[in-house]
Structure 1
Amino acid sequence: MTVWCGDTPLILASQSRTRRLLLANAGIDVEARPAEIDERAMQAAAGITAPSDIAALLAREKALAVSARWPGRHVLGADQTLALGDRLFNKPDGRVGAFEQLRALAGGSHQLHSAVAVAYDRMVVFEHVAVASMTMRPLSEIAVAAYLDAAGDAVAASVGGYQLEGLGVHLFERIDGDHFTILGLPLLPLLGFLRSRRLLVF
């Protein structure tokens, strides 16, 4: 059942199946219109290094890029960065990259910085950043290889080489933070904003 009462669906400026599913499960009518932006180039041009600032920048730019093509529509952009101390991680380049990332993360705590932004007629009307702390259990090379064998190609789909909603949950011993933040979409603050715009039934 939908609880969306906008005249047109919310536009998700992303190809993320997980984010789209989170919105759909929350009863929001959504359609995906991926943003065609060079994330690494934008990050470099902005000259920012703080993980939360990077995630916020990219969420805004995604929303604005798609909003420029769809006037009169609410456009949602989202981004997530993973930081292990001063080291930032991007999506791994295949199995070898995932293996290296997981070995670096094993036995320690890292942070996921998840940002969301909503644009309307080329203006950002809402943005929010949330952080979750993830503690991965110690993992031998054999354990990491076994996980990669079981998880398959999915490991290259998310930063850090794991998907908590799937087999990646086995890698962790402690999680501090909101479930939706971990999945890359701080949903509760977003729903509050959508209610303020009278886009939800309740």
Structure 2
Amino acid sequence: MSIWRGQQKLILASQSRARKMLLENAGLDFEALLADIDERAVQANSGLAAPGAIAGLLAREKALFVSRQKPRQYVVGADQTLALGQRMFSKPAGRAQAAEQLRALAGHVHELHSAVAVARDGTVLFSDVSVARMSMRRFTDAEIEAYLDQAGAAVTTSVGAYQLESLGVHLFERIEGDHFTILGLPLLSLLAFLRGENLLAV
């Protein structure tokens, strides 16, 4: 039995496997839909430079895009950015770019900014951004190649070319931040908002 009390299903404006898993594990009754927006164009047109602000904007735009198609339903949008100092990273286009990203990140601390937003009927009702600090260990080119061999195509599905919940855990020596932020969805603040809307039984 779901703990969701809404009259209609919650909508997740994402096809992210990790985000769907988090909502499923939390016992929410939801439907996942793709937010078909041009993220790079939205970012470029915004003039924003701060990684957290960009993640927040994209989460809101995704929620708004889907909420306009789903009247009266609560829609969750989410986004994540990765920054090493002033340099922002995107999902690598292939193995060579994944290797380049890993060389740049090795031995340094980078930040993951994860944003969530909830919209209903074309209005943003809630948004939040959380940060995790990720200390990647130093490793050799041979270790990078071995990691890429094992991880396969999965390295192109997330920024930084890693998934911490999988083989990416081998790349790190220290992590500061909660598990949900790292997976791309500030779940605790989202649940607190939904609880405040009387949408959860717990």
Q: TM-score, normalised by structure 1?
A: 0.99
Matched, 1:145 2:145: yes
| Structure 1 residues 120-162: Cα deviation after superposition (integer angstroms, max 9, x where no partner) | 1100000000000000000111101000001111111100000
4+ residue runs over 6 A deviation:
none
Report the Cα distance in structure 1 between the residues aligned to 2:6 and 2:191, rounded to whole angstroms: 13
How is 1:101-116 mapped onto 2 (pairs within 5 angstroms)? Answer: 101-116=101-116
Displacement of 1:8 in angstroms is 1.3
Displacement of 1:172 in angstroms is 0.2
Three-state SS of the structure 1 residue aligned to 2:198 is: coil
Report the Cα distance in structure 2 between the residues aligned to 1:88 and 1:106, rounded to whole angstroms: 15
Report the Cα distance in structure 2 between the residues aligned to 1:60 and 1:36, rounded to whole angstroms: 13
Report the Cα distance in structure 2 between the residues aligned to 1:94 and 1:166, rounded to whole angstroms: 18
Matched, 1:128 2:115: no
Given residue 41 of structure 2, which amino acid in structure 1 is its aligned partner?
Answer: A
Report the Cα distance in structure 1 between the residues aligned to 2:179 and 2:22, rounded to whole angstroms: 11
Report the Cα distance in structure 1 between the residues aligned to 2:62 and 2:47, rounded to whole angstroms: 18
Given residue 21 of structure 1, which amino acid in structure 2 is its aligned partner?
Answer: M
Report the Cα distance in structure 1 between the residues aligned to 2:94 and 2:74, rounded to whole angstroms: 34
Displacement of 1:12 in angstroms is 0.6
How is 1:1-202 mapped onto 2 (pairs within 5 angstroms)? Answer: 1-202=1-202
Identity over aligned residues, as a percent?
64
Displacement of 1:33 in angstroms is 1.1
Report the Cα distance in structure 1 between the residues aligned to 2:64 and 2:149, rounded to whole angstroms: 39
Report the Cα distance in structure 2 between the residues aligned to 1:177 and 1:64, rounded to whole angstroms: 28
The alignment's C-alpha RMSD in Å is: 0.6
Given residue 6 of structure 1, which amino acid in structure 2 is its aligned partner?
Answer: G
| Structure 1 residues 33-53: Cα deviation after superposition (integer angstroms, max 9, x where no partner) | 111100000101010110000
Report the Cα distance in structure 2 between the residues aligned to 1:120 and 1:20, rounded to whole angstroms: 19
For structure 1, which segment, 156-165 or 1-10, has the greater mean C-alpha deviation from structure 2 after superposition? 1-10
Report the Cα distance in structure 2 between the residues aligned to 1:162 and 1:142, rounded to whole angstroms: 17
Any stretches of 5+ residues in structure 2 without a counterpart? none
